[in-house]
Amino acid sequence: MTTATLFQWVKLKQDVPNSPVKKGDTGVVLDNLPPTNKQPESGYTLEVFKNGETLDVISVPISWVTPLPEIWGDSQYAPTEIDVKALD
């Protein structure tokens, strides 16, 4: 399984319960989370964006996201230039 680095963009593979975040939304990795007794899979804390605004900050297992090649703040990419449709 490919893992994402801090500030890397990711695409959600599924809806997030109790959140407005839906499958296909994109976010930035803010933190890596170790496994716990209740959650045996490592995870990420993500800031998810929609139309240039923060939609939510969530924590999800790493299997719920697909890493994208873009890194937040990299002058080569702007959030509006991410083509997530190419991954579908």
Return averaged pLDDT per consecutive 10 residues of the chain, 88 residues in all: 88 96 96 94 95 94 94 62 49
Per-residue pLDDT at 8:
94
Per-residue pLDDT at 42:
96
Per-residue pLDDT at 88:
47
With beta carbons less than 8 A apart as the criterion, state whether 49 and 55 touch: yes
Per-residue pLDDT at 83:
52
